[in-house]
A and B are shown apart, each in its own frame.
Chain A
């Protein structure tokens, strides 16, 4: 009895796969495009390594990134201390490794907040148009009238420089990008015949926005997000470098670079390695973002 059922199940599964073949093909095709875009692959590898380092940080180093060891100040790179030690005798390698957790956390929260707010504002503005659009876009313009870092700086300084406020400040500055993008997309999508067709079927505005406009508008937002993840790190590090971001002894990469500034000439390693870490990770995100954009490009796809 159960055997028969098992066979039936299997048949059903096969049928399931059979019917979804085009979807699977589609994914395969995406995978193929991704594989053939070398730079995107390099980017992906960098980002995976970055994630891996952040997750497995404690396994990668035996030094505490915060504990001071004044006996071992300013040691050059060696097998003991791969990236040397800083003015408090802290292992720079360990600080860079743990720093990845800080950066990842910043990226993660900033992305959620800014993409969330930005997409919502953008899609509402674009879909409804008219006065709603006018008001929302003028507000966006006001935020865009500031050079980003300057606005973020003023924010963190005002809220009090620490990690949480850095995140709030960057999100506060960053959402405008997605708002503009999502709006432009929503306007484009809204006027497409297929949206009209859905409206003609009798669908509600909320349904159209959530199930049809949003999914179509989101892919450029995702590409932009990937490209901007690099910028998020750069902004966070910039704030950290100026002393307006994460505060010591948190091992934020920008702050570490700043720590090493006074020792630049003799103890180059303190600044060089965390800076290099920033550059590599940002590069990874940029390569990945470029790759995703190419892959999603309909000209390539069709």
Chain B
């Protein structure tokens, strides 16, 4: 009951934030650019073409009017037509998004498992070999530029060793079944193991590259959180009850230590989406990140607007889920 109210409240807040997000995007795409059309067509374009384009983009109207049109469009899910692909931006997003979300989910799972496990081991065996390893792993993870790591791994595993494919989601002559758009999931549903195996081989490198930084930061926070919890009074109580070390750690400490980590997992999702832009570019992954980058490079404003808004929406949704799971995990939050 109380949890329900909390969710309603958070949803309400999210709507306000999304309104602000849309305003910021409007500002970026409609107000800041001095002369978008000039930028797109170049300085020497004939005047009729410029006018036609201004009209097409709605730039001949006043800023407030543009804003109203823009907001109306968003509410109806209409982001306009991409200048580059000449298709509805929404259609483009629906096409490109599954690749991104698949990559993000796989990375997230990888990052969470590795991060949490390393963090726990690191805290329990503090100052032992595993702790040192995990700390080096973490500090490197948050220091390495994603794109550089990606390139080096590509060089090693694709060009030099040839163990893994060099990019894309599937090999040339493999056609995965199309149900949800998530290759791995669809292959499992259709029972197409060739396609599954192929998809898995393709996703390993990008998912590792993308998830590494998150795994590192989750491991760091998990370690710190564990150490903090292990110092708490209730852990002493658990020990005084005669519980074995294992029970104390796994039953009493881990759940408490996970609570702050949940926030980090949510925040990691943001850096994951950021990183996806770079990873997708390197691994020719046909996702939304690459779509936005390409749109930005040619100043395809409708595509930029739609893509950015959509990413922000997904990120906010992820944060909402995190906040709710936070409330589920920690009974103190439900007051």
Contacts and interface: CB of A to CB of B under 8 A. Distances in A.
User: Within 8 Å by CB, do A and B touch in the complex?
Assistant: yes
Interface of A: 138-139, 141-143, 145-151, 153-155, 157-160, 230, 234, 237-238, 241-244, 254, 257-258, 261, 264-265, 268, 271-272, 275-276, 278-280, 282-283, 286-287, 290
Contact of B277 (A150, A264, A278, A282): A150
A154 B304 contact: yes
5 contacts: A141-B20, A147-B274, A149-B274, A151-B24, A238-B146
A230 B143 contact: yes
Contact of A154 (B28, B39, B159): B28
Contact of B145 (A151, A153, A237, A242): A237
A155 B139 contact: no
Contact of A158 (B28, B140, B148, B312): B28
A239 B296 CA distance: 12
Interface in B108-122: none
Contacts of B293: 153, 242, 244
B278 A242 contact: yes
A282 B143 contact: yes
Q: Which of A149, A254, A283: most chain B Cβ within 10 A?
A: A149
A140 to B, nearest CB: 10
B41 to A, nearest CB: 16
Interface size bucket, B side?
35 or more
B292 interface: yes
Contacts of B145: 234, 237-238, 241, 254, 257, 275, 278-279, 282
Interface stretch (B54-62, B149-157, B174-182, B250-258): B149-157
Interface string B15-55: 01110110111001100110000010000000000000000
Q: Which of B16, B20, B292, B299: most chain A Cβ within 10 A?
A: B20
Contacts of B304: 154, 157
The interface residues of chain A, by DSSP majority, are classed as: helix
B104 to A, nearest CB: 10
Interface in B260-307: 270-275, 277-278, 281, 289, 292-293, 296-297, 299, 304
Interface of B: 13, 16-18, 20-21, 23-25, 28-29, 32-33, 39, 139-140, 142-148, 151-152, 154-155, 159, 270-275, 277-278, 281, 289, 292-293, 296-297, 299, 304, 308, 311-312, 315-316, 319
Nearest to B308: A154
Given A139-B20, A244-B297, A150 B28 contact: no
Nearest to A43: B139
A203 B242 CA distance: 54
Nearest to A266: B159
Nearest to B309: A146
Nearest to B147: A241
Contact of A150 (B20, B142, B274): B274
Nearest to A275: B148
Rank and list the top 9 A-B pairs by shortest CB-CB distance, nearest first: A275-B148, A142-B20, A149-B274, A147-B273, A283-B143, A157-B296, A147-B274, A282-B143, A147-B270
Given A159-B32, A242-B293, A278-B148, 15 more contacts: A142-B21, A145-B316, A145-B319, A147-B270, A147-B272, A154-B25, A154-B308, A158-B32, A160-B39, A234-B146, A238-B145, A238-B147, A238-B274, A279-B143, A280-B143
